[in-house]
């Protein structure tokens, strides 16, 4: 077949070449050709002049492309993130997953800023973080995920504390038609997606994405809870009830320089264990609604001066029923909104220097509180509120200068000041340089600070028998220094080594104030340091499309002289992708995680480390480049492994995670 | 309920955007990047001939004839209100794309068109021949060639080189490519590249081919290491290339005119970019003999011009 096609192509070329032979002989000389090339050389076209090549940024950045995601066979965002050096994913007792970054992990992942197409998604003002609805984000519509490790408040403001994860989705141009996909896997998991995108002749464009996902969850065995060990009636021993279902709609509409985009998500979930140290049955129901709507416009003032403006409205609500005993239920509900705007000026001073500066304003509001209690989830009675209605206003100004004083040197200098009506101001600088000291060898250095604003729950938690809010809280702060080297010793090989040192101060933590009562306080500090090593080799020639890669992290996080609990000292990812031909490729991944220590006073043995082996097969561009298929097996060797349960649940041991699981996926383009 | 209202607003907005349109004339505006450049001007001349034969109106705007080019071009487009703008060269395309993004556009003579932002209202004729065709012909001529090397600049040719690599994989040819940022890197890059390859491929990269000296460096290095050179244009035959497959410049102009007329009548899907329809195969028998390079004699049927040592 290939031979036939080759012959046909040659034939076509011969026919066309014979027909036009005469005119070609009149063509110009070398001088004329070089003059043409010189004219073409005058224009360098790039997608965005502010986009920086990963090699040239001062921040430690990992980019996962749509192609990478397809090879990985990722089921959701977490499957993508767990391959990134310095990032770990673990299960929480409530259901959502926690994102560990550089040896620091909290239940709400509130120190990680997740963004969608550059828009922050930390819409839950009561408890902060974005993992509530974005941990299991479907990946079929994602074009690229950019993970910037280290502080980002100098540019992004609040909560870009340990890392920024920016998810870029497909736009009208990427879609150019209709794309659909479906996936099925273990635990009755099903995913469906439909996308449509079109660019119109009058410079209008539209892209719409719809995703639906549903799973019965992993049904992990839970041997005991706080009631069963006292001999009281209990659901334990039992199994986790982490059913999860979600649908979301994303839109990107553009007309000339205007753009209206946003995403609506509804997520319903059970729980993995539950609250109050009591194993829940299937009557715990979490119900989240989340959307943002953003209208933006880029104003071109001059060739080298543009202004980006945007107004946005974010919404988050939950309406949750928690089982706190076999016959006791608690209902919490509230609504959070954030409305604001931003103006950013981009000034290209020269080919080697770009400066951006901006101003942002937002008003955050929490209301529609609903708290009920009772023995039957269908007939609950009002009870005292668990938090307060609250309004916060904040504004910020920022400036950043990216300057290449030499062809092989980039300097970045930036700072941001934010002012909050409820706790005052915070100033965060960022500086760094990237120096390509030998061709293909660059050294990086950066220093920056970041902050996380206290969440409404931390400020205003009330009527809770064991925990109180604190209106006098200040933001927690981190100062990070990092340096690294990135090299391409031979074509196709990229290696990077990074050392980081972070000092987190004024940590917002729960401090005992009276017997059995704690209060949120700015108390304590954490020192986190580590080394991240990563390498990837992309094969060329007959093996083009194949690659091997590895990353290894050594991390050490200390609080009060002790290694932080529930985070490993080391983690390794090994990856290999073998392209058999232009269509078929196979992917293999090994995750090796070290032991994780316990809190002081927790007498359980350390959580043993483990190695997981995943494999996948991907067929791309079949049937006229219209069909992609993939099949992945996670934990192929059916390894029994555990995520750490907190000390408060020490009686259950740890969370047993999924054994061998399967996921198949089909994607169609029209 | 809020969501339902929101969805209604969205639907209305989509309907509005979808129905929005502009009244259009039938005039074509030709924007030439630089009239003094032979390739641009030849294409423009052939383009106009076809338009004339088909009774189409046109207006011209040469970028090198205006001081405040962007403002003047914008004003000219408003004044002429063309149905389609034909951009010759990357400079013309970039400028028109900025000042009149809502206009139907056609481009040609743009190096590596894949780096351009080609939307639904954009059409084009590629500057480069289909690399699949070129590789098939190379295989036909030189069945023993396994590895081909090329130099390129990442900013100008990355997407084109990626396409070549994909097509080469399908043809069973191994491509070794080396990016350079400056002509000063050519010698070092060639010293590294040439020992690993069976043939060197000159692509139309404006950084690699910055001046005559860089062209000479390539041919001198290839000659020293006895490696044949294949080129995208017959102008390199005289320098010592063994084979060239050139896109015919005049045909690009005529082909563009045909595409412009079809695009104007919406007879061709938006985003269509055609490969050049005309090509010329030139074989340098003298260089082949000097290198004692074996080739498939049957392939001579496909050669338009054979250059001997006496020429």
Specify if B14 maps to a domain: no
B208 and B168, same structural domain? yes
Q: What is the pLDDT of residues A558-603, one digit of tens each?
A: 988 888 888 999 999 999 999 888 789 999 999 999 999 888 888 8
Residue B75's CATH number: 3.40.50.2300
Q: Does A21 reach chain B within 8 Å, measured CB to CB?
A: yes
Nearest CA among A230, A212, A209 for reference residue A167: A209
Better-scored residue on pLDDT, B74 or A98: A98
Question: Which residues in chain B have Cβ-Cβ distances shorter than 8 Å to A264?
Answer: 3, 6
Question: Which residues in chain B have Cβ-Cβ distances shorter than 8 Å to A29?
Answer: 235
Q: What is the pLDDT of residues A469-484, one digit of tens each?
A: 999 999 999 999 999 9
Q: Determine whether the interchain pair A36/B37 forms a contact, defined as Cβ–Cβ distance below 8 Å.
A: yes
Domains in chain A, CATH or no CATH each:
46-669 (2.40.170.20)
ipTM for the whole predicted complex goes beyond 0.95: no
Residue of B92, B140, B146 to mutate for A, most A C-beta atoms under 10 A: B140
Specify if B37 maps to a domain: yes
- What does pTM read for this prediction? 0.73
Taking the C-alpha atoms of residue A482 and residue A448, their distance in angstroms, rounded to an integer, is: 9
DSSP string, A501-513: EEEEES-EEEEEE
B204 and B258, same structural domain? no
Option in A17, A41, A203 nearest B101 (CB): A203
State the pLDDT at residue A496.
93
Taking the C-alpha atoms of residue A18 and residue A15, their distance in angstroms, rounded to an integer, is: 5
State the pLDDT at residue A217.
92
Task: Point out the residues of chain A with pLDDT beneath 70.
Answer: 1-28, 43-56, 201-202, 541
Average pLDDT over residues B249-264: 91
Taking the C-alpha atoms of residue A521 and residue A506, their distance in angstroms, rounded to an integer, is: 8
Specify if B28 maps to a domain: yes
Q: Determine whether the interchain pair A39/B34 forms a contact, defined as Cβ–Cβ distance below 8 Å.
A: yes
Q: How confident is the model at residue B17 (pLDDT cuts 50, 70, 90)?
A: very low
Residues 239-278 of B with CB under 8 A from A: 239, 245-246, 248-251, 270-271, 277-278
Q: If you measure CA to CA, which chain A residue comes closest to B207?
A: A41
Taking the C-alpha atoms of residue A377 and residue A287, their distance in angstroms, rounded to an integer, is: 14
B241 and B189, same structural domain? yes
Specify if B156 maps to a domain: yes
Q: Which residue has the tokens 């202004």?
A: A307
B223 and B162, same structural domain? yes
Q: Does A42 reach chain B within 8 Å, measured CB to CB?
A: yes
Query: How far does the CA of residue A34 sit from the closest CA of chain B (Å)?
Result: 7
- DSSP SS3 for B83: coil
Q: What is the pLDDT of residues A99-121, one digit of tens each?
A: 999 999 888 899 999 999 999 99
Better-scored residue on pLDDT, B159 or B229: B229
- Tell me: cis bond preceding A649? Omega within 30 of 0 counts: no
B291 and B171, same structural domain? yes
B300 and B190, same structural domain? yes
Q: Determine whether the interchain pair B212/A260 forms a contact, defined as Cβ–Cβ distance below 8 Å.
A: no
Q: If you measure CA to CA, which chain A residue comes closest to B276?
A: A16
Q: Which residue has the tokens 């320098």?
A: B239
B170 and B28, same structural domain? no
B142 and B115, same structural domain? no
Better-scored residue on pLDDT, B83 or A209: A209
Specify if B5 maps to a domain: no
pLDDT beyond 70 at B34 = yes
Taking the C-alpha atoms of residue A292 and residue A81, their distance in angstroms, rounded to an integer, is: 23
Option in B139, B165, B271 nearest A176 (CB): B271
Report chain A's mean pLDDT, rounded to a whole number: 88
Specify if B4 maps to a domain: no
B177 and B289, same structural domain? yes
Domain span at residue B30 reads 20-128+251-274
Query: How far does the CA of residue A302 sit from the closest CA of chain B (Å)?
Result: 10
State the pLDDT at residue A63.
86
Q: Does B61 reach chain A within 8 Å, measured CB to CB?
A: no
Q: Determine whether the interchain pair A202/B238 forms a contact, defined as Cβ–Cβ distance below 8 Å.
A: no
B160 and B103, same structural domain? no
State the pLDDT at residue A24.
41
Taking the C-alpha atoms of residue A278 and residue A234, their distance in angstroms, rounded to an integer, is: 8
Specify if B295 maps to a domain: yes
Q: Does B94 reach chain A within 8 Å, measured CB to CB?
A: yes
Query: How far does the CA of residue B122 sit from the closest CA of chain A (Å)?
Result: 9
Taking the C-alpha atoms of residue A641 and residue B257, their distance in angstroms, rounded to an integer, is: 66
Q: Determine whether the interchain pair A20/B238 forms a contact, defined as Cβ–Cβ distance below 8 Å.
A: no
State the pLDDT at residue A45.
52
State the pLDDT at residue A13.
42
Question: Which residues in chain B have Cβ-Cβ distances shorter than 8 Å to A205?
Answer: 119
Number of domains composing chain B:
2
Q: Determine whether the interchain pair B38/A35 forms a contact, defined as Cβ–Cβ distance below 8 Å.
A: yes
State the pLDDT at residue B19.
39
Q: CA end-to-end span of chain A, whole Å?
A: 25
Q: If you measure CA to CA, which chain B residue comes closest to A408?
A: B181
Backbone angles phi, psi at A384, to 5 degrees: -65, 145
Query: How far does the CA of residue A534 sit from the closest CA of chain B (Å)?
Result: 23
Option in A17, A35, A300 nearest B37 (CB): A35
Q: CA torsion, points A28, A29, A31, A36, in degrees to nearest 10? A: 30
Query: How far does the CA of residue A621 sit from the closest CA of chain B (Å)?
Result: 13
Q: Are A596 and A51 in contact (CB under 8 A)?
A: no
State the pLDDT at residue A370.
94
Residues 135-154 of B with CB under 8 A from A: 136-137, 139-140, 147
Q: Determine whether the interchain pair A24/B234 forms a contact, defined as Cβ–Cβ distance below 8 Å.
A: yes
Q: Determine whether the interchain pair B70/A205 forms a contact, defined as Cβ–Cβ distance below 8 Å.
A: no
Average pLDDT over residues B284-305: 88
B110 and B89, same structural domain? yes
Q: If you measure CA to CA, which chain B residue comes closest to A34?
A: B211
State the pLDDT at residue A648.
81
Taking the C-alpha atoms of residue B243 and residue B282, their distance in angstroms, rounded to an integer, is: 6
Q: How many CB pairs under 8 A join A and B?
A: 222
Q: If you measure CA to CA, which chain A residue comes closest to B204?
A: A37
Question: Which residues in chain B have Cβ-Cβ distances shorter than 8 Å to A173?
Answer: 117, 119
Query: How far does the CA of residue B24 sit from the closest CA of chain A (Å)?
Result: 11
Report chain B's mean pLDDT, rounded to a whole number: 86
Q: Determine whether the interchain pair B91/A12 forms a contact, defined as Cβ–Cβ distance below 8 Å.
A: no
B83 and B52, same structural domain? yes
Specify if B159 maps to a domain: yes
State the pLDDT at residue A53.
56
């Amino acid at each position: 077949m290939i031979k036939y096609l080759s012959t046909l192509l040659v034939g076509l070329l011969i026919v066309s070449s014979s027909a036009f032979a005469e005119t070609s002989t009149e063509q110009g000389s070398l001088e004329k050709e070089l003059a043409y090339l010189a004219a073409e050389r005058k224009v360098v076209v790039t997608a965005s002049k502010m986009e920086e090549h990963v090699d040239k940024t001062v921040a430690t950045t990992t980019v996962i492309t749509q192609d990478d995601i397809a090879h990985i066979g990722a089921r959701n965002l977490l499957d993508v993130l767990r391959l990134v050096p310095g990032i770990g994913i673990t299960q929480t007792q409530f259901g959502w997953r926690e994102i560990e970054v550089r040896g620091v992990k909290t239940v709400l992942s509130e120190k990680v800023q997740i963004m969608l197409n550059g828009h922050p998604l930390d819409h839950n003002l009561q408890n902060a973080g974005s993992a509530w609805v974005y941990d299991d984000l479907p990946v079929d519509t994602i074009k690229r995920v950019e993970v910037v490790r280290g502080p980002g408040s100098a540019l992004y403001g609040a909560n870009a504390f340990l890392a920024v994860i920016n998810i870029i989705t497909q736009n009208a141009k990427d879609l150019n038609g209709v794309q659909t996909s479906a996936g099925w896997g273990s635990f009755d998991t099903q995913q469906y997606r439909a996308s449509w995108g079109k660019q119109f002749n009058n410079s209008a464009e539209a892209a719409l994405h719809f995703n639906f996902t549903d799973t019965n969850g992993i049904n992990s065995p839970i041997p005991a809870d706080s009631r069963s060990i006292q001999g009281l009636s209990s659901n334990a021993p039992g199994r986790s009830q982490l059913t999860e279902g979600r649908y979301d709609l994303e839109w990107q509409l553009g007309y000339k320089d205007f753009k209206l985009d946003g995403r609506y998500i509804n997520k319903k979930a059970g729980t993995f264990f539950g609250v109050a140290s009591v194993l829940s049955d299937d009557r715990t129901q979490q119900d989240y609604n989340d959307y943002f709507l953003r209208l933006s416009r880029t104003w071109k003032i001059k060739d080298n001066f543009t202004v980006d403006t945007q107004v946005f409205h974010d919404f988050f609500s939950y309406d949750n029923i928690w089982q706190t005993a076999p016959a006791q239920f608690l209902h919490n509900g509230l609504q959070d909104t954030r409305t604001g705007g931003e103006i950013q000026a981009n000034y290209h001073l020269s080919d080697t220097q770009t400066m951006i500066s901006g101003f942002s304003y937002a008003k955050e509001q929490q209301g529609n509180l609903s708290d009920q209690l009772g023995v039957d989830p269908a007939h609950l009675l009002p009870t005292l509120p668990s938090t307060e209605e609250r309004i916060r206003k904040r504004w910020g100004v920022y400036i950043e200068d990216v300057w290449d004083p030499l062809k092989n040197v980039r300097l970045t200098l930036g700072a941001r000041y934010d002012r909050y009506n409820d706790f005052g101001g915070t100033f965060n600088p960022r500086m760094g340089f990237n120096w390509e000291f030998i061709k293909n060898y660059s050294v990086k250095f950066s220093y920056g600070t970041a902050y996380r604003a206290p969440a409404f729950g931390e400020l205003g938690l009330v009527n809770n028998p064991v925990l109180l809010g604190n209106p006098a809280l200040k933001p927690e702060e981190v100062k990070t220094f990092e340096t690294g080297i990135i090299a391409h010793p031979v074509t196709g090989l990229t290696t990077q080594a990074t050392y980081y040192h972070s000092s987190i101060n004024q940590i917002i933590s729960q401090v005992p104030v009276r017997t059995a009562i704690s209060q949120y306080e700015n108390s304590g500090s954490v020192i986190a340091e580590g080394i991240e090593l990563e390498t990837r080799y992309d094969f060329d020639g007959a093996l083009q499309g194949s690659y091997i890669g590895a990353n290894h992290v050594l991390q050490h996080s200390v609080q009060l002289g002790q290694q932080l609990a529930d985070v490993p000292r080391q983690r390794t990812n090994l990856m290999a992708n073998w392209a058999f031909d232009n269509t078929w490729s196979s992917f293999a991944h090994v995750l090796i995680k070290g032991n994780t220590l316990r809190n002081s006073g927790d007498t359980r043995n350390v959580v043993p480390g483990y190695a997981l082996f995943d494999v996948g097969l991907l067929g791309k561009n079949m049937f006229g480049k219209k069909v992609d298929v993939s099949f992945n097996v996670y934990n192929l060797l059916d390894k029994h492994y555990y995520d750490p349960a907190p000390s408060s649940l020490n009686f259950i041991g740890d969370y047993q995670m999924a054994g061998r699981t399967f996921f198949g996926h089909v994607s169609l383009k029209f | 309920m809020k969501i339902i209202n929101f969805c209604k607003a969205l639907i209305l907005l989509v309907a509005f955007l979808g129905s929005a349109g502009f009244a259009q004339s039938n005039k074509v505006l030709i924007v030439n990047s630089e009239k003094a450049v032979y390739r641009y001007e030849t294409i423009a001349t052939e383009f106009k001939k076809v338009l004339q034969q088909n009774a189409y109106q046109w207006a011209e705007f040469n970028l090198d004839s205006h001081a405040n080019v962007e403002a003047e071009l914008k004003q000219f487009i408003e004044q002429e209100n063309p149905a389609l703008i034909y951009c010759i060269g990357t400079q013309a395309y970039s400028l028109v794309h900025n000042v009149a993004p809502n206009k139907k556009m056609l481009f040609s003579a743009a190096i590596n068109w894949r780096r351009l932002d080609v939307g639904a209202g954009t059409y084009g004729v590629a500057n480069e021949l289909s690399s699949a065709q070129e590789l098939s012909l190379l295989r036909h001529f030189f069945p023993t060639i396994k590895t081909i090397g090329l130099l390129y600049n990442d900013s100008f040719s990355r997407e084109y080189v990626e396409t070549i690599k994909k097509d080469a994989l399908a043809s069973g040819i191994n491509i070794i490519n080396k990016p350079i940022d400056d002509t000063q890197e050519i010698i070092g890059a060639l010293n590294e590249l040439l020992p690993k390859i069976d043939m060197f491929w000159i692509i139309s990269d404006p950084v690699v081919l910055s001046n005559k000296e860089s062209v000479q460096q390539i041919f001198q290095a290839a000659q020293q290491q006895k490696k044949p050179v294949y080129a995208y244009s017959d102008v390199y035959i005289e320098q010592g290339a063994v084979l060239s497959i050139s896109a015919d410049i005049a045909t690009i102009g005529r082909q563009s005119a045909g595409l412009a007329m079809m695009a104007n009548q919406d007879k061709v899907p938006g985003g269509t970019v055609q490969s050049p329809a005309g090509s010329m195969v030139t074989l340098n028998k003298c260089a082949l003999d000097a290198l004692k390079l074996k080739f498939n004699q049957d392939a001579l049927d496909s050669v338009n011009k054979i250059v001997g040592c006496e020429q």
